[in-house]
Amino acid sequence: MRLDDLQRVLADFDAGYLLTVDPSTARVKVVSVRPALVDGVLVVAGPGRGSLANARANSAVTLVWPPREAGFSLIVDGSAECSGDDVHITPSGGVLHKPAAS
C-alpha cells in the first residue's frame, strides 16, 4: 500500500490498536485507538500514560486495524512524537495484510 493512499484506505476501517514497547521489559503494550490523519501524520488522542512513556523511550510504533468483516487488516509502522497527552505518528510504511489461508 502506498502511504499516499492512507486517507482513502483508513475510511474502510474502524478502531485500531497502537502497539508500543516498554524498553525495560520488552513487553508490548496494546491500546485501542481511533487515530486521525492530519497533514500526513496519524494523531492518537490520549492513548494513556504507559503508551506515552513507551513512545517517548522508543519512537518506533505500529498501528493495526483489524478487518470489519472477513478481509484485509491494515498495518502501519511509524515514528512517534509525544505532544502533551497525544501521540503523533509519522508513517514510514503500511500494508494491507491478507489473512492466512486455513
Q: What pLDDT sits at residue 102?
A: 59
The pLDDT of residue 4: 87
pLDDT band of 3, cuts 50, 70, 90: confident
For the stretch 25-80, pLDDT in tens is: 999 999 999 999 999 999 999 999 999 999 999 999 999 999 877 789 999 999 99
Hey, what's the cell of 84? 502533551
In this structure, the number of other CB atoms found within 10 A of the CB of residue 42 comes to 23
Q: Which spans in 1-102 are helix H?
A: 6-10, 49-57
3-state helix/strand/coil string of 50-66: HHHHHHHHCCEEEEEEC
For position 61, what pLDDT does the model report?
98
CATH architecture of structural domain 3-97: Roll (2.30)
**pLDDT over threshold 80, residue 1:** no
Instruction: Render pLDDT for 71-96 as a digit per residue (tens, 0 to 9).
Output: 899 999 999 999 999 999 999 999 99
